[in-house]
Amino acid sequence: MSKKPHPRAARRGLPFDPLFRQVRKDAWKFFLGARGSHDWDHTERVLRLCLRIGKKERADLEILMLSAVLHDIGRAEEDKSRGRISHAEAGASAARKILEARGVEPEKIERIIHGIKAHRFRKRGNAPATPEAKILFDADKLDSLGAVGVGRAFLFAGEVGARLHNPDTDISKTRPYTKEDTAYREFMVKLRRLKDRIHTREGKRIAAERHRFMVAFFDRLNKESQGKL
């Protein structure tokens, strides 16, 4: 990996200010040696989706951008613990230290921390309660859908040593971070339900199209694996 922050974002028209540049550099350091499924590229895709949705929702783009670049900095802790540590909680703790060191106002810090904690919201914990937290949640989930989502699902499966495909396996009896934690398992357990959890109007529109693509992909994968196509 390069020794400096990824240069492509600046060429794609992302707004920059001194604080954002500093925090972005701080965040990037957490991704040295990151796994491909949750690397710095994922963060920048989420950032771009946040800006796309945030402009339509008239969100506070400063809060949104800072939340986006910091949202996954605890991912390495979760990976090392094989899922026992929540990367949202670990990331929120690390983000608070970064933001305080950069002199960010306490009120802004709390809004950013809320977004980081809430972006992983599932059945329990912190539900996204602000426009910026809802947008970050949506952007993060959208990056798990569509063609990018398929690619990331297979990347993660490879990272944990999973099989290519297991359509005949009883998914209810499989466990994460095992040989049966395939891309198909990820789709069945989580990804196919994501479109119904999106908050924003623009996010729902993007999710619907990406969901259709993903359903069609796994349908074809099932047929090809069975020799039907």
Measuring CA to CA, which residue among 199, 206, 187, 103 is closest to residue 149?
Answer: 187
According to the model, what pLDDT value does residue 126 have?
76
pLDDT band for 83, please (50, 70, 90 cuts). low
pLDDT digits (tens, 9 = 90+) for 146-181: 999 999 999 999 999 999 999 999 999 999 989 999
Region 29-57 average pLDDT? 93
Exposure class string for 96-134: b at 16+ Cβ within 10 A, else e: bebbeeeebeeeebebbbbbbbbbbbeeeebebebbbbb
Q: Which amino acid is at 75?
A: R
pLDDT digits (tens, 9 = 90+) for 20-36: 999 999 999 999 988 88
- pLDDT of residue 12 exceeding 50, the answer is no
Domains and CATH numbers, the chain: 12-125 (1.10.3210.10), 144-229 (1.20.58.1910)
CA distances from 100 to 31, 112, 223 (A): 21, 12, 53
Prediction pTM value: 0.87
